[in-house]
């Protein structure tokens, strides 16, 4: 048995000096014939070997101690095969599920943040927001549960059922999963039956966390209100339809108590003109007052049992989250059942079923637009009104119950309470995955298994848009105006998005494991897999309802706009893995896989990919200095192929047309509205077809779109080649461990839609083009700086990772790739952000034009300037854990260093006049001076903003690639021209440049703090409670960044080769993030 008095099966028992021996059974028992005085050699992987001298006793209880020399001896690798960590030639990292179930995140995957070197988790603060996982720069990772790939949105992973997470960090580790594992994989091993001596175990885990206290919040000014050029007046019409400042920015008059016609100012019945009432700051804290305390409660009860022939586990979890935005919530139910039965020593059957259901009547929609609270309160938020005035959102003088909302502004946004309670975004999703497996153990060397697995989900998202919702033209059909004295009221819209996916995997696996003699061992597996895939989705909108408040597609005024997208795919595969071991000198592992993929044209649809890895444990056969207790070096190569599938998919409309739903609903002057939702998919993208799709442009008349891509039947699978080398070293009797990996990968040529000359009349052709090269390294350090005999210990885990991705080849005869605002050349970093920069004098001063604005950069792609890189230089995590007897204390800092991002909230709030910067420093002085020049808003302002910089006094600038190249012909003098601040910001700083809003991407977070106490066994005594612990927990407690108006956490990805997008260039509006703290109780019965 082990130190916890649990039986250890499979322990080798040998009589010293003989070849007599056997192994312990499942219950850890053994019997052997031996003579007194002989010694039993007792050994097992992971434990310190012992010698027991036989005396008179007939039974012996042998306690094996854990071998601290090997921290995690066995790891799960591809296909769920467990391997000795010493023999692996590539980088993996494992984390125990039990470490992540206390300081909870609503999404289990968010908890991995900072724990794995090289895995960047972009924790998403939004409800049902999917965390962005970036592994060596790639975002498309495969999730594997108990050896079988599952299609997951990460919300269907139940943290309490997870024994361990293993991250396979690159294609080298994941070669056996084929193209789905090209970027690495996250393997989840679920909990199985108990090893408890009583034969059963009951566990209860409960966390309750509260969310309050913003860590990232846009800072806005509360000195000036709605208006333009220091003027504002609400119109005489009830809904301001005749007002000049409807849908205005926040460049209005200062709150000096002067008279201004406002929404609640009375109308003089004699003249019909709105009177003036004092203009005051009444709502500086409207946003903070509107938001509520969030709550996250997770409860899990699990029961496991085992007997001679069976093991069982069943687990029920419920997660309830209440958002900080009013009336937002999320429920997740999860049921997990596992059962295994040994028919005989040779035959075993086991199966697992996981059922997950997510449901909510309303989650917030945060993308830029009148649906977003940050847009309402922060970007265009004026402090001129008090939140309490609009709590009754159908009431007041302007409200019409069920028809017209009561608000202070009818041009740009909506009453937030109306948004919260009437404009509802529902979500329902059911996820089921499970498998049944039959295994046969022929003998000690051979075993076989047959497995059938299914993963399926169905999701329904609905959006109920109530009457009088102000969509600010984001939807063409919105109107709120008056004809012939009557108000036209739009009765709202109903939108529905249904998606379902069904995937089957059937596989057969044969394993062989043989130790030929002391020096040689061989093990291997061979298998075959059939994967079938089917996906169906619809997206529909009414555009306008007939009856207000009835949210059905049938209640549509005009024809319902409805789109369908379906797809099918099949992959048949065969694969093998073969390991040779020669003593401890060398371990060789090779894998190979053949796929036949239905998405590729015949003749190119079958392909092979190999991998090989080598490792050697030098410390096992070489005498090393005393302080080095373990040294292993490893190296590997893998080649992965695949084609014409897409890791994610948007709405049916998006899948069909390539356009976002936002562009369908908006498409007007100000772009789309709403968030395009992407689901995990891994199905066909049909990118290589010349085809016609139906569309309509003019007055519902039918039209078609013809492909602008030239399809090719010569497309070959893409190719990712990855090389990796690394070392694991342990020092000072394993007190300090270090794991270092260097990797480089050649990604491509991709299956790519290469731009072609416009004169072909096509935009692109399908070819194998675009190759990138990634280089980087990952380092993780684990150590125990202090460990005393009285039970105190301090454990440290730190990790650090970096990589760079450059363009290494485009296509024969093509020397530029124009994408993301730049014509990239070979050798350039692909995460370079290019845009509009200030034009500067030789001394770096900003050049202004004669009118007092910063001089615009010349237009055109080739004139765009490098503004920074989107990928961080380093990603790190630093975890400390202190334990003393029954107490433990741990905390983690993590973050990213380096890189730039376009701060969208900052840019938009500068343009709108709300940014705090606009009342501070030079801007603030100019603004105040201008306000004073208006005589209380009665005369036009005199500009007082003199931009810091110079003007050209003689000579004409000449430019090359957007930069002046004839400074010798130019003379400069300081800029003295004063303009109004609004003009300077809107038409200059904001209107002409990207540079001012590029902010540092670095941040550090105090991610979690856990203070734990486990109640000592003796206190529990003989009660029915076997173990109990309580923890105080906190997450996201401190946040350090250059500008704390956005939480940089969720922008993990910079450039992503598979989508060719520089998505990480710019932030969006996001919910402001807050601290989360609470407690966790864990009880075992």
Partner 1 sequence: MNLNTIKITGMIALAVVLGSCQKGDLLSNPNVANENSNVPVSLLLNHLTWSMYRGGGVVEKSSNSVGEEPFGQVGRWNQYTASTNAYYRGTNAYAFSNTATAYDLLRYANQMESKAIVQLGAVNNIYGALSKFFKAYSFVWLTQRVGDIPAAEAGNSANLTPKFDTQKEVYRRSLQLLDEANTMAGASIKPAVGVDNSATVVPGDIFGLTYLQWQKVINSYRLRVLISLSKRADDNTDLNIKQQFSDILTNTSKYPILTSNTDNLSFKYNATVNKFIYNPDETYNLFENVGKTYLDITTSSMDPRTFITSTPAPAEIASGKTVSDFTAYVGSSTAQTQSTLSANDALGKYSYVNYKRYFATFIGPDPAVIIGYPEVCFNIAEAINRGWAGGSAATWYQNGINASINSYGLSEGQSYDIGNVKGVTLGKVTISISNFLNHPNVKYKGDNSDGLKQILQQKYVAFFENSGWEAFYNWRRTGIPEFANNGPGINPSGVIPLRWQYPLEEQNNNNANYKAAVAAQYGGNDDVNQKMWMLK
Contacts to partner 1 from residues 541-600, by CB under 8 A: 558, 564-570, 598-600
Question: Does the protein bind partner 1 through residue 1038 (CB under 8 A)?
Answer: no
574-609 burial by CB neighbour count: b if 16+ within 10 A, else e? Answer: ebbbbbbbeebeebbbbbbbebebebbeeeebebeb
Instruction: Give the long-range contacts of residues 11-16, CB within 8 A, separation 24 or more.
Output: 11/42, 11/43, 11/44, 11/47, 11/64, 12/41, 12/42, 12/43, 12/44, 13/40, 13/41, 13/42, 14/40, 14/41, 14/43, 15/39, 15/40, 15/41, 16/40, 16/41, 16/51
Radius of gyration of the chain (CA): 33
Nearer to partner 1, 29 or 481 (CB): 481
Question: Does the protein bind partner 1 through residue 953 (CB under 8 A)?
Answer: no
Among 12, 26, 277, 452, binds partner 1 (CB under 8 A): 452
Stretch that binds partner 1, among 116-124, 151-159, 691-699, 868-876 (CB under 8 A): 691-699
Nearer to partner 1, 228 or 727 (CB): 228
Q: Are 336 and 304 in contact (CB under 8 A)?
A: no
Contacts to partner 1 from residues 106-145, by CB under 8 A: none
Question: Does the protein bind partner 1 through residue 446 (CB under 8 A)?
Answer: no
Q: How many Å apart are CA 423 and CA 409, to the nearest integer?
A: 17
Q: Least distance (Å) from partner 1 to the CB of residue 387?
A: 25
φ, ψ of residue 61 in degrees (nearest 5): -110, 115
352-385 burial by CB neighbour count: b if 16+ within 10 A, else e? Answer: bbbbbebebbbbbbbbbbbbbbbbbbbbbbbbbb
Q: Which residue has the tokens 């056997």?
A: 22
Nearer to partner 1, 43 or 598 (CB): 598
Question: Does the protein bind partner 1 through residue 369 (CB under 8 A)?
Answer: no
Among 20, 858, 886, 922, binds partner 1 (CB under 8 A): 858
Tell me the Ramachandran region of residue 924: left when phi exceeds 0, alpha when psi lies from -120 to 50, beta otherwise. alpha
Question: Does the protein bind partner 1 through residue 813 (CB under 8 A)?
Answer: yes
Q: Least distance (Å) from partner 1 to the CB of residue 739?
A: 40
Q: Which residue has the tokens 């950069």?
A: 857
Question: Does the protein bind partner 1 through residue 859 (CB under 8 A)?
Answer: yes
Q: Least distance (Å) from partner 1 to the CB of residue 684?
A: 8
Q: Name every residue whose Cβ is closer than 8 Å to that of residue 64 and which is 6 or more positions away in sequence.
A: 1, 2, 3, 8, 11, 42, 44, 47, 48, 50
Among 1, 39, 756, 1015, binds partner 1 (CB under 8 A): 756
Q: Least distance (Å) from partner 1 to the CB of residue 295?
A: 39
Other CB atoms within 10 Å distance of the CB of residue 622 = 11
Contacts to partner 1 from residues 315-334, by CB under 8 A: none
- The three-class DSSP label of residue 929 is helix
Residue 946: C-alpha distances to residues 838, 850, 981 (Å): 16, 12, 9
Nearer to partner 1, 33 or 757 (CB): 757
Other CB atoms within 10 Å distance of the CB of residue 844 = 8
Stretch that binds partner 1, among 42-50, 124-132, 576-584, 981-989 (CB under 8 A): 981-989
Q: Which two tokens stand for residue 522?
A: 């061989």
Residue closest to 354 by CA, chosen among 457, 251, 428: 457
- Beta-strand runs (E) in 898-961: 900-902, 945-946, 950-954, 959-960
Question: Does the protein bind partner 1 through residue 853 (CB under 8 A)?
Answer: yes
Nearer to partner 1, 2 or 705 (CB): 705
Length of the chain: 1085
Q: Least distance (Å) from partner 1 to the CB of residue 762?
A: 6
Contacts to partner 1 from residues 820-849, by CB under 8 A: 823, 839, 849
Nearer to partner 1, 236 or 584 (CB): 236
Q: Least distance (Å) from partner 1 to the CB of residue 400?
A: 19
Q: Least distance (Å) from partner 1 to the CB of residue 913?
A: 11
Among 183, 911, 1031, 1053, binds partner 1 (CB under 8 A): 911
Stretch that binds partner 1, among 91-99, 631-639, 717-725, 810-818 (CB under 8 A): 810-818
792-828 burial by CB neighbour count: b if 16+ within 10 A, else e? Answer: eebbebbbbbbbebbbbbbbeeeeebebbbbebeeee
Contacts to partner 1 from residues 464-493, by CB under 8 A: 473, 476-481
Q: Least distance (Å) from partner 1 to the CB of residue 134?
A: 28
Residue closest to 828 by CA, chosen among 838, 814, 817, 837: 817
Q: Least distance (Å) from partner 1 to the CB of residue 662?
A: 14
Among 142, 941, 944, 1006, binds partner 1 (CB under 8 A): 941
Among 344, 443, 517, 1023, binds partner 1 (CB under 8 A): 344
φ, ψ of residue 17 in degrees (nearest 5): 85, 0
Q: Least distance (Å) from partner 1 to the CB of residue 1043?
A: 21
Q: How many Å apart are CA 374 and CA 366, to the nearest integer?
A: 8
Pairing assessment for the beta strands 978-979 and 945-946 based on DSSP bridges = antiparallel
Q: How many Å apart are CA 154 and CA 993, to the nearest integer?
A: 38
- The three-class DSSP label of residue 925 is helix
Question: Does the protein bind partner 1 through residue 991 (CB under 8 A)?
Answer: yes
Among 655, 729, 798, 1057, binds partner 1 (CB under 8 A): 655
Contacts to partner 1 from residues 692-751, by CB under 8 A: 692-693, 695, 697-708, 710
Question: Does the protein bind partner 1 through residue 905 (CB under 8 A)?
Answer: no
Q: Name every residue whose Cβ is closer than 8 Å to that of residue 825 and which is 6 or more positions away in sequence.
A: 807, 815, 816, 817
Contacts to partner 1 from residues 497-536, by CB under 8 A: 504, 506, 530, 532, 534
Instruction: Give the long-range contacts of residues 693-701, CB within 8 A, separation 24 or more.
Output: 693/656, 693/657, 695/657, 700/558, 700/559
Stretch that binds partner 1, among 215-223, 890-898, 988-996, 1002-1010 (CB under 8 A): 988-996
Question: Does the protein bind partner 1 through residue 955 (CB under 8 A)?
Answer: no
Other CB atoms within 10 Å distance of the CB of residue 566 = 13
Among 434, 581, 684, 726, binds partner 1 (CB under 8 A): 684
Q: How many Å apart are CA 1066 and CA 1070, to the nearest integer?
A: 12
Other CB atoms within 10 Å distance of the CB of residue 457 = 23
Q: How many Å apart are CA 164 and CA 85, to the nearest integer?
A: 15
Among 16, 69, 247, 829, binds partner 1 (CB under 8 A): 247
- Beta-strand runs (E) in 750-835: 750-755, 764-769, 771-787, 792-809, 817-819, 822-824, 832-835
Stretch that binds partner 1, among 426-434, 682-690, 718-726, 998-1006 (CB under 8 A): 682-690
Nearer to partner 1, 126 or 409 (CB): 409
Q: Least distance (Å) from partner 1 to the CB of residue 852?
A: 6
Among 365, 431, 493, 765, binds partner 1 (CB under 8 A): 765
Question: Does the protein bind partner 1 through residue 229 (CB under 8 A)?
Answer: yes
Q: Least distance (Å) from partner 1 to the CB of residue 692?
A: 4
Contacts to partner 1 from residues 420-439, by CB under 8 A: 438
Question: Does the protein bind partner 1 through residue 984 (CB under 8 A)?
Answer: yes
Q: Least distance (Å) from partner 1 to the CB of residue 758?
A: 4
Size of the site for partner 1 (CB under 8 A): 113
Q: Least distance (Å) from partner 1 to the CB of residue 814?
A: 6
Question: Does the protein bind partner 1 through residue 1014 (CB under 8 A)?
Answer: no
């Amino acid at each position: 048995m082990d130190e916890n008095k649990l039986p250890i099966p499979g322990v080798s028992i040998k009589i010293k000096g003989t070849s007599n021996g056997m192994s312990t059974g499942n219950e850890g028992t053994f019997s052997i014939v031996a003579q007194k005085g002989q010694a039993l050699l007792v050994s097992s992987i992971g434990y310190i070997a012992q010698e027991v001298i036989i005396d008179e006793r007939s039974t012996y209880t042998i306690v094996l101690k854990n071998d601290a020399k090997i921290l995690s001896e066995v790891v799960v690798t591809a296909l769920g095969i467990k391997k000795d960590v010493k023999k692996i030639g590539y980088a993996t990292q494992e984390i125990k599920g039990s470490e992540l179930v206390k300081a909870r995140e609503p999404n289990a995957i968010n908890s991995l943040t900072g724990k794995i070197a090289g895995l960047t988790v972009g924790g998403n603060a939004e409800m049902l927001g999917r965390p962005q996982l970036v592994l060596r720069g790639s975002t498309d990772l495969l999730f594997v549960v108990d050896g079988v790939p599952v299609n997951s949105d990460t919300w269907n992973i139940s943290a309490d059922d997870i024994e361990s997470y293993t991250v396979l960090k690159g294609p080298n580790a994941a070669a056996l999963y084929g193209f789905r594992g090209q970027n690495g994989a996250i393997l989840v091993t679920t909990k199985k039956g108990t090893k408890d001596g009583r034969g059963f175990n009951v566990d209860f885990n409960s966390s309750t966390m509260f969310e309050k206290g913003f860590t990232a919040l846009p800072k806005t000014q509360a000195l000036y209100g709605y208006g333009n050029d220091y003027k504002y007046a609400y119109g005489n019409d009830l809904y301001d339809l005749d007002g000049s400042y409807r849908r205005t920015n926040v460049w209005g008059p200062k709150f000096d108590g002067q008279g201004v016609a406002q929404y609640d100012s009375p109308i003089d019945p004699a003249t019909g003109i709105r009177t003036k009432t004092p203009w005051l700051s009444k709502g500086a804290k409207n946003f903070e007052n509107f938001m509520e305390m969030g709550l996250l409660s997770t409860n899990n009860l699990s029961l496991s049992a085992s007997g001679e022939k069976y093991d069982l586990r069943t687990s029920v979890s419920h997660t309830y989250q209440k958002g900080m935005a009013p009336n937002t919530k999320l429920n997740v139910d999860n049921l997990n059942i596992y059962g295994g039965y040994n028919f005989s020593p040779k035959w075993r059957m086991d199966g697992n079923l996981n059922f997950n259901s997510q449901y909510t009547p309303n989650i917030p929609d945060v993308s830029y637009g009148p649906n977003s609270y940050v847009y309402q309160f922060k970007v265009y938020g004026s402090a001129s009104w008090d939140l309490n005035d609009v709590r009754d959102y159908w009431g007041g003088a302007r409200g019409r119950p069920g028809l017209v909302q009561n608000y202070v502004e009818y041009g740009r946004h909506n009453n937030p309470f109306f948004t919260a309670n009437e404009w509802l975004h529902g979500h329902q999703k059911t996820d089921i995955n499970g498998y049944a497996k039959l295994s046969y153990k022929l003998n000690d060397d051979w075993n076989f298994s047959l497995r059938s697995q299914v993963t399926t989900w169905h999701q329904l998202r609905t959006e109920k848009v109530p009457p009088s919702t102000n969509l600010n033209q984001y939807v063409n059909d919105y109107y709120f105006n008056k004809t012939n004295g009557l108000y036209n009221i739009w009765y709202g819209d109903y939108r529905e998005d249904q998606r379902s996916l069904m995937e089957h995997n059937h596989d057969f696996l044969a394993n062989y494991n043989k130790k030929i003699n002391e020096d040689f061992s061989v093990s291997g597996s061979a298998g075959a897999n059939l994967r079938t895939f089917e996906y169906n989705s619809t997206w529909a909108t009414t555009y306008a309802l007939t009856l207000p408040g009835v949210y059905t597609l049938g209640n549509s005024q005009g024809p319902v706009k409805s789109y369908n997208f379906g797809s099918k795919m099949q992959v048949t595969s065969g694969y093998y893995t073969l390991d040779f071991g020669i003593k401890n000198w060398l371990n060789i592992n090779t894998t190979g896989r053949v796929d036949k993929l239905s998405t590729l044209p015949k003749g190119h649809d079958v392909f092979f990919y190999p991998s090989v890895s080598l490792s050697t444990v030098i410390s096992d056969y070489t005498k090393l200095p005393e302080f080095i207790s373990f040294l292993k070096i490893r190296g590997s190569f893998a080649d992965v192929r695949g084609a014409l599938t897409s890791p994610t998919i948007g709405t049916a409309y998006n899948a069909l047309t390539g356009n976002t739903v936002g562009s369908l609903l908006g498409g007007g002057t100000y772009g789309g509205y709403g968030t395009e939702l992407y689901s995990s998919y891994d199905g066909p993208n049909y990118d290589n077809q010349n085809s016609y799709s139906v569309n309509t442009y003019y007055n519902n008349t039918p039209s078609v779109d013809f492909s602008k891509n030239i399809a090719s039947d010569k497309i070959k699978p893409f190719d990712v080649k990855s090389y990796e080398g690394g070392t694991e070293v342990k020092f000072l009797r394993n007190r300090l461990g270090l794991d270092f990996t260097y990797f480089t990968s050649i990604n491509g040529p991709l299956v790519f839609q290469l731009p072609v000359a416009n004169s072909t009349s096509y935009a692109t052709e399908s070819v194998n083009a675009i190759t990138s090269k990634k280089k980087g390294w990952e380092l993780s350090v684990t150590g125990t700086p202090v460990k005393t005999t009285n039970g105190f210990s301090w454990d440290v885990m730190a990790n650090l990772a970096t990589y760079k991705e450059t363009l290494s080849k485009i296509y024969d005869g093509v020397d530029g790739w124009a994408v993301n605002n730049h014509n990239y050349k070979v050798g350039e970093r692909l995460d370079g952000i290019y845009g509009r920069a200030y034009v500067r004098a030789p001394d770096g001063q900003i050049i202004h034009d004669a009118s007092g604005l910063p001089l615009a950069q010349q237009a055109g792609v080739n004139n765009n300037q490098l503004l920074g890189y989107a990928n961080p230089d380093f990603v790190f995590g630093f975890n400390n854990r202190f334990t003393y007897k029954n107490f433990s204390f741990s905390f983690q800092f993590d973050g990213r260093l380096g890189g730039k991002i376009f701060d969208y909230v900052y840019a938009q709030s500068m343009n709108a006049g709300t940014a705090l910067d606009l009342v501070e420093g030079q801007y603030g002085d100019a603004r105040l001076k201008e306000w004073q020049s208006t005589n209380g808003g009665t005369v036009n302002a005199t500009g007082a903003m003199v931009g810091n910089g110079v003007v050209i006094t003689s000579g004409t600038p000449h430019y090359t690639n957007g930069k002046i190249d004839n400074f010798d012909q130019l003379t400069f003098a300081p800029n003295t021209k004063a303009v109004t601040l609004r003009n300077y910001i809107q038409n200059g700083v904001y209107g002409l440049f990207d540079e001012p809003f590029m902010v540092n991407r670095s941040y550090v977070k105090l991610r979690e703090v856990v203070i734990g106490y486990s109640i000592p066994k003796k206190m529990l005594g003989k009660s029915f409670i076997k173990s109990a612990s309580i923890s105080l927990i906190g997450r996201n407690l401190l946040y350090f960044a250059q500008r704390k108006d956005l939480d940089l956490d969720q922008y993990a990805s910079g450039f992503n080769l598979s989508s060719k997008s520089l998505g990480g260039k710019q932030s969006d509006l996001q919910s402001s993030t807050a601290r989360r703290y609470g407690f966790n109780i864990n009880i075992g019965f």
